[in-house]
Structure 1
């Protein structure tokens, strides 16, 4: 189940990131150049496409490693995120362990998003 997007603390979203794009490049783009261009764009217009964060009681997965890297560069306190419930199995290789305190925030945010929709 997916929920409307919400703003979440950048630090929480970062904990669900599979890799740091500042240190691990992408095979699809020239990562340093891409991050520089994205930094300029997001600095001017903000994050226009919410990051996607799947979660359950055991783990979280994030789609948006470049955007979260730029959010960290820019010192953004929060980022727009589209949440969805991730099934427990199969567990993706890039899944990150779910902290109990993060699960509470994500469940509350998902509940708030439903009430606002």
Structure 2
């Protein structure tokens, strides 16, 4: 079940900043503009996914968090999932202790 989490917490675990990547396939300004327009109109309809353990966090939803930052949203819907420590994904970000406690509570651990 998704929970609302603060954007500053969630953004710490993104793999890349989609505003600066600039891939010709999916990270075009037009794609992000269209996503921003849709989210501004309807909200984030598909929750982001934040997998975590004591050591790291991984985010699925880099486009949506980029748009949340662009729009100045305070919170975003997130499905929080406990992950095993191994294998550690290459895009994992180090877990911050304060974030771990928030995520653990959100996951019901």
* TM-score band, normalised by shorter chain: over 0.9
Residue 96 of structure 1 corresponds to 93
Residue 86 of structure 1 corresponds to 83
Matched pairs, number? 109
Q: Is the 8 A contact 2:51 2:83 kept in 1?
A: yes
Aligned-residue CA RMSD in angstroms? 1.3
Q: Is the 8 A contact 1:8 1:80 kept in 2?
A: yes
Alpha-carbon distance in 2 for matches of 1:26, 1:73: 18
Query: TM-score scaled by structure 2?
Result: 0.95
2:43 aligned with 1:46: yes
CA 1:21–1:58: 2 relative to 1, 3 Å: same
Instruction: Return the offset for 1:26.
Output: 4.0
2:51 aligned counterpart, secondary structure: strand
2:67 aligned with 1:74: no
CA 1:86–1:27: 2 relative to 1, 3 Å: farther
Unaligned runs of 5+ in 2: none
Query: TM-score scaled by structure 1?
Result: 0.89
Q: Is the 8 A contact 1:18 1:95 kept in 2?
A: yes
Instruction: Return the offset for 1:27.
Output: 5.9
Which runs of structure 1 show a deviation greater than 4 angstroms over 4 or more consecutive aligned residues? none
